[in-house]
């Protein structure tokens, strides 16, 4: 059991970059002002319910109260605030002493924006999270529901943690849903691969109006264009590789891609060694311009 957990955020504020391919790729409409707020919540007796946890205080986190103070457990950062502290840096939001084994500590992140006091404007604040443990086993970071991922690897490969599946997942199906994959530029071809802890996985996929159509039909979900068939799918892919863009053209622009991955009946791993249970997602981009915003969810059925 760890003696403490440090909850850290990388590049917590919105710090505009020259382009979305530079560093975290933060961007903002110049007439807008965004405030990004972080609040960590303490564990409670109902870990399956995420909206009733009490807020962690600065005293509990070992810091000093204040919107920009490391260790405060709560930050409220306006665009460009405290860049010397937060920009391109890992900063500790809270250090949890004597954490409860198996407990769920909830982190809420929200953004407010305005133009002259009205709720308008656009911007993207991209950040990363990690938890560092002291004196014991590792803790993990996981979304409660969907998670947004920004891939700005450009050319090459990026591997992301997708789901940690214990031995009881054997015989089930890992359902992976991704929104709007393949927003790449230039002549980039992008592929997604679902990978088990070792070896390869097989899968099938389906997408309404996807694969080969730049957008959904008019009157469908607001995009233009006319597809030849309403649904495209493919099955028995091994390894589980799905092409999301070809020569810079997305196959799933503004659309959901649904991937189903059967977990073998003889699947096993050692939960005491989390890496043996970790399934991952690999992006492969053929050329520069491979920046992509996506939304992911994963669950067993």
Look up the CATH number of the domain holding residue 263: 2.60.120
pLDDT of residue 251: 82
pLDDT of residue 30: 64
Last residue in a domain, options 134, 163, 188 = 134
**Do 166 and 270 fall within a single domain?**
yes
For the chain, where are the alpha helices, taking DSSP H only?
58-61, 83-86
Residue in 34, 53, 184 with CA at minimum distance from that of residue 111: 34
CA dihedral 83, 85, 91, 95 (to 10 degrees): -130
**Do 95 and 231 fall within a single domain?**
no
Burial class (CB in 10 A: 0-12, 13-18, 19+), 185: middle
**Do 151 and 264 fall within a single domain?**
yes
Last residue in a domain, options 104, 134, 164 = 134
pLDDT of residue 293: 79
**Ramachandran angles phi, psi of 58, nearest 5°:** -60, -35
Has residue 116 been placed in a domain?
A: yes
Domain count, the chain: 2
Whole-angstrom distance, CA of residue 170 vs CA of residue 175: 14
Structural domain for 120, as ranges:
4-134
**Ramachandran angles phi, psi of 257, nearest 5°:** -110, 125
Residue in 49, 47, 54, 58 with CA at minimum distance from that of residue 96: 58
Sheet of strand 4-10, all strands in order from the earlier edge strand to the far edge: 90-97, 4-10, 128-134
Token pair for 212: 């080969």
Asked if residues 157 and 262 have their Cβ atoms less than 8 Å apart, the reply is no
- Residue 169: left (phi > 0), alpha (psi -120 to 50), or beta? alpha
CA angle (99 as vertex; 134, 62 as ends), nearest 5 = 75
Token pair for 68: 């920009």
**Do 185 and 292 fall within a single domain?**
yes
Listed in sequence order, the residues at least 6 apart from 237 whose beta carbon sits closer than 8 Å to its beta carbon are 202, 203, 204, 205
**Do 125 and 266 fall within a single domain?**
no
Listed in sequence order, the residues at least 6 apart from 214 whose beta carbon sits closer than 8 Å to its beta carbon are 225, 249, 250, 253
Whole-angstrom distance, CA of residue 25 vs CA of residue 157: 18
pLDDT of residue 124: 85
CA torsion sign for 145, 148, 153, 156 is positive
- Residue 217, preceding bond cis, omega within 30 degrees? no
Look up the pTM and report it: 0.76
pLDDT of residue 246: 83
- Residue 2, preceding bond cis, omega within 30 degrees? no
**Do 245 and 281 fall within a single domain?**
yes
**Ordered per-residue pLDDT tens for the chain, 301 residues:** 678 999 999 999 999 988 877 888 888 876 667 889 999 999 988 877 888 999 999 999 999 999 999 999 999 999 899 999 999 999 999 999 988 887 889 999 988 765 555 556 678 888 999 999 887 666 788 777 777 788 776 677 888 888 889 999 999 999 999 888 887 777 778 889 999 999 999 999 888 766 555 444 444 443 444 444 556 678 788 999 998 888 877 888 778 889 999 999 999 999 878 789 999 988 888 776 567 778 888 889 9
Instruction: Look at residue 10 and give its three-state secondary structure.
Output: strand
**How distant is the alpha carbon of residue 12 from its chain centre?**
15
Last residue in a domain, options 108, 134, 160 = 134
Asked if residues 34 and 78 have their Cβ atoms less than 8 Å apart, the reply is yes
């Amino acid at each position: 059991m760890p003696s403490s957990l440090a909850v850290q955020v990388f590049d917590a504020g919105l710090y505009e970059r020259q382009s979305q391919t530079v560093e975290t790729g933060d961007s903002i409409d110049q007439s807008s002002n965004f405030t990004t707020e972080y609040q960590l919540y303490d564990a409670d007796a109902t870990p399956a319910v995420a909206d009733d946890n009490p807020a962690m205080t600065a005293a509990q986190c070992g810091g000093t109260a204040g919107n920009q103070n490391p260790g405060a457990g709560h930050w409220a950062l306006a665009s460009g605030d405290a860049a010397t502290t937060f920009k391109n840096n890992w900063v500790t939001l809270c250090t949890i002493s004597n954490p409860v084994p198996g407990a769920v500590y909830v982190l809420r992140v929200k953004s407010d924006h305005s133009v002259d006091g009205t709720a308008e404007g656009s911007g993207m604040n991209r950040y990363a999270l990690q938890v560092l443990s002291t004196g014991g086993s590792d803790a993990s970071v996981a979304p409660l529901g969907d998670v947004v991922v920004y891939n700005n690897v450009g050319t090459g490969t990026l591997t992301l943690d997708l789901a940690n599946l214990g031995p009881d997942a054997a015989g089930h199906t890992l359902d992976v849903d991704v929104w709007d994959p393949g927003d790449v530029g230039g002549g980039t071809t992008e592929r997604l691969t679902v990978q088990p802890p070792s070896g390869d996985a097989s899968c099938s996929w389906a997408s309404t109006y996807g694969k080969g159509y730049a957008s959904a039909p008019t009157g469908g979900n607001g995009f233009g264009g006319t597809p030849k068939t309403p649904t495209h799918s493919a099955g028995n892919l091994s390894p589980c590789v799905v092409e999301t863009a070809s020569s810079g053209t997305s196959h799933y622009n503004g659309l959901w891609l649904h991937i189903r991955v059967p977990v073998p009946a003889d699947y096993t791993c050692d939960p005491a060694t989390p890496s043996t249970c970790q399934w991952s997602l690999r992006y492969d981009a053929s050329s520069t311009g491979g920046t992509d915003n996506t939304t992911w969810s994963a669950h067993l059925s």
